[in-house]
Chains A and B, each alone.
Chain A
Amino acid sequence: MGGIRLGGIKYLEGLAHLAVFSPARGILAGEACISRLAETGINLNLLTCTGEAAGEGSVVACCMENEEGADSYAALREESEKGATLTLQSDTAILSVFPYNKRAEIAGELLAGMAREDVLPCAFASSPSSLSVVVGGPDRGKAAKALFHSFEFSSYASLQDWHAAYRGKEHLLREIVASYRERMIKIYGVVAQRDLDLWSVPAGLDSMAPLGASLASLGAAGVKLPFLIARPWGRNGLLFELCFSTEDAERVRRELEARVPDASFLRRTSVAAFFIHGPHFGDRYGIADALLGTLRKSHVVPLALGCAVSSISTVVRQEDLEPGLQALERAFEAPARQ
């Protein structure tokens, strides 16, 4: 105990993790998968999409209720006829910590904690205010131990405390799955951030601790990490997609070269991100599908997408930010832009 002090955690278990590795490049190549899941009425608890990195095609990776895992796999099976590979893992869990507030040191500590317990997660995803990690069933105990070692929560000293707080209310975690369909999807707000770089960093289990140390060091220096996703990569690794401000590029590069010297990271500059703050992702199906459809119609190609807790974070080319925001205004009901 005595780690970084945070406000709370969310814990969802009994989930399936499905990944589709497609040779087709570009996130919109994965849009068909997301649309098909939406048509089937499958609510996603977490979603990451990457266009292309390290010579690979696009990857869509998502979590849904265990009992919908098989239906999801079946719905996407025809992707394998186009050369895609599908993997399905049942009994995964999502642990989310908050508030995150783009603090790189929180991401660093989470990675380091998982590495300390020898846990290779299935995925990571940030939202504006939280950071989520997906772990396989056998790793849940170790992941929880890592969490409570790395962080201090004002309300809970252990996952058992958390369970006790929700005892008798477990249904509440799932009961707000919405049965309503608004004419126009409501969102709380959109926040945009310009002048970013998108870094792709592959990391096996043995690289996660040094990568975590890099992020912790950057966080201690005041560097913010507004976007983070990670999805399965190779047999035993994750591919991290991270956004830092362009002005921090040199510091980021030095940290990665010093601590993760074997990593062949790529940097894409002149990107921007927009963050759709809730409420509905995770609440009901079709939200990510609505976003991608809207962007496609506006010829805006996302470079990376992460959906966690109730929010959606999207990375685009800088020149696509304004068209992307205008597309959102046409498709979603939102208060004024921040």
Chain B
Amino acid sequence: MSQKYVLIVDDDPDLVETVAMMLENKGFEVGKAYDGVEGEESVKNRRPDALVLDVMMPRKDGYKLCRDLKGNEATRDIPIILLTAVGEAVPSTSYTHMEGMSTEADEYIPKPVDAATLVRTVEGFFA
């Protein structure tokens, strides 16, 4: 099976680095983008096999990017994991885990992210 390419889009560089390390250790090739617009451009330049997408990002947030990708026939079938805020514990946030459920992402993982769960979820897309 050819090496799968996963794009991580998150403005937390330490999270990006951690997840990238774990995915690379599992044999994935990893791309990184640090906001939604950069992520969108990255998808246009090179189609990922899966996408890990943070919600709270500048320029274009993860919800908008997820909706746009799922609404586009060319990118609709790219599996997307959305990293959402912990809705119950952070009631003042505009972004909640429940709101994320409406954007047709394939999986939702609340923050703080369990990196091992994230890696297993990515692997599950290709099982």
Contacts and interface: CB of A to CB of B under 8 A. Distances in A.
Nearest to B88: A180
B34 A8 contact: yes
Contacts of B112: 186, 188, 278-280, 283
Interface in A162-192: 162, 165-166, 169, 172, 175-176, 178-180, 186, 188-189, 191
Interface string B34-62: 11011000000000000000001011000
Contacts of A128: 14, 17
Nearest to A281: B14
Contacts of B94: 172, 175
A219 interface: no
A175 B13 contact: no
By size class, the interface of chain B is 20 to 34
A188 B13 contact: no
Interface string B55-87: 010110000000000000000000000000110
A166 to B, nearest CB: 5
A278 B89 contact: no
Contact of A98 (B13, B19, B92, B113): B13
A335 B116 CA distance: 6
Tell me what chain A mostly uses at the interface: helix, strand, loop, or mixed.
loop
B22 to A, nearest CB: 7
A130 B32 CA distance: 14
Contact of B17 (A99, A154, A166): A99
A178 B16 contact: no
A291 to B, nearest CB: 15
A335 B90 contact: no
Given A128-B17, A179-B89, A278 B12 contact: yes
Contacts, number: 106
A309 interface: yes
Interface string A106-128: 00000000000000000000011
A147 B85 CA distance: 31
Contacts of A335: 22, 114-116
B90 A310 contact: no
B68 to A, nearest CB: 17
29 contacts: A7-B13, A7-B32, A98-B13, A99-B32, A101-B17, A130-B14, A154-B38, A155-B37, A155-B59, A162-B58, A169-B58, A175-B92, A176-B90, A178-B86, A180-B89, A186-B112, A188-B112, A189-B21, A189-B115, A191-B21, A277-B15, A278-B14, A278-B112, A279-B12, A279-B111, A309-B13, A311-B14, A336-B116, A338-B25
Given A128-B17, A176-B93, A335-B115, 10 more contacts: A7-B32, A7-B38, A10-B11, A98-B13, A99-B32, A155-B34, A278-B14, A278-B18, A279-B12, A309-B12
Interface of A: 7-8, 10, 98-101, 127-130, 154-155, 162, 165-166, 169, 172, 175-176, 178-180, 186, 188-189, 191, 277-280, 283, 309-311, 335-336, 338
